[in-house]
Amino acid sequence: MNISILGHVCIDKNTSEHTSYVAAGSPAMFMNRIYKQFPNCPTNIIASYGQDFLKYLNGISIFPKTPNSKKTLVYENISKKGNRLQKAYHREEAFPVAIDDNVKNILSNSDIVFVAPLLPNFPKSYFSSIKSITDNKALIILLPQGFYRNFDNKNNVAVREFIEADDILQYVDIVIVSDQDHPNMFDVGKKWSKKNLNLIVAITEGKKGANIFKNGVNTYVKTIPVAEKDIVDSVGGGDTFSAGFAYQFKKTNNIVKAGEFANTIARQKLFFKADNIKLNLQNL
């Protein structure tokens, strides 16, 4: 199963429940760590980055092959009790990679294509191009968290509306969001699924599990909560869910099986630092 992830990569400066560290971040890097532990899931990342990111790329297949920015996007994350405070730096350097012949070749051979921006700078035309290149053969999944972010003059992350949703969602098969992305995410997700026939909307809700919409109908998939005192690091939990959901849905075309599998591996991730994940996939 060939995986491609377009979006942003970043350097994370994380302080969470019981740990603090600097590491490569972004959904692209987190999901790459997950897919390395799945059988036969070669993964390509397509994102802009600088020389300062090279030390994180051992064993990573990334395009372009050499840095194309002066500096890499940096996020400072402080996570506590399920809430996160963030700052973002070097945003002007984190532009979408042009879809040239090399990118087209990667996408045309992909079974799953994620678009996972950390900034709201991916235009409708980018999604239209991806759709035309994959020719309905690939499962296209949007992780739109970057579209929900604005930034003030002190680099603090602020709330933004996903105003491009109507233009963009027509080009994707699945959108995966967190209940923290929007104060009314449940209602927004339901509206999306009614408006875009066959679009699957998965809303993660932490220890409560996930709600999955299709054609306006909701399916709840529960999980087993982890006590706060036992959580080593919650950063990357949603990305782990996304990787698992896409993988299992592509195999089964079943949203319940995909949701259960995703919840299980996302729960496992909570017991590890984001840069040291070890999954147990036996009996799953």
List the chain domain ranges.
3-269
Q: 27-35 vs 237-252: helix axis angle to the nearest 10?
A: 50
Place of tokens 């040291």: 276
The pLDDT value recorded for residue 131 is 95
Q: Please say whether the beta carbons of 168 and 143 come within 8 A.
A: no
The pLDDT value recorded for residue 226 is 65
Q: 10 Å Cβ neighbour count for 166? A: 12
CA distance to 12, 78, 84, 205, 213, per residue, from 234 (Å): 13, 11, 10, 13, 25
Nearest by Cα to 170 from 231, 232, 128: 128
The pLDDT value recorded for residue 67 is 97
CA-to-CA distance for 156 and 175, rounded, in angstroms?
Answer: 26
Extract the tokens encoding 179.
């209940």
CATH no. of 3-269: 3.40.1190.20
CA-to-CA distance for 113 and 202, rounded, in angstroms?
Answer: 16
The pLDDT value recorded for residue 55 is 95
The pLDDT value recorded for residue 17 is 65
Per-residue pLDDT tens digits of the chain, which is 284 residues long = 999 999 999 998 877 767 788 888 899 999 998 999 899 999 999 999 999 999 999 999 999 999 999 999 999 887 766 677 889 999 999 999 999 999 999 999 999 999 999 999 999 999 999 999 997 889 999 999 999 999 999 999 998 999 999 999 999 999 999 988 898 999 999 999 999 988 999 999 888 889 999 998 999 998 877 667 766 666 677 899 999 999 999 999 999 999 999 988 887 776 666 666 777 777 65
pTM of the entire predicted model: 0.90
The pLDDT value recorded for residue 212 is 96
The pLDDT value recorded for residue 38 is 92
Q: How many residues in the chain? A: 284
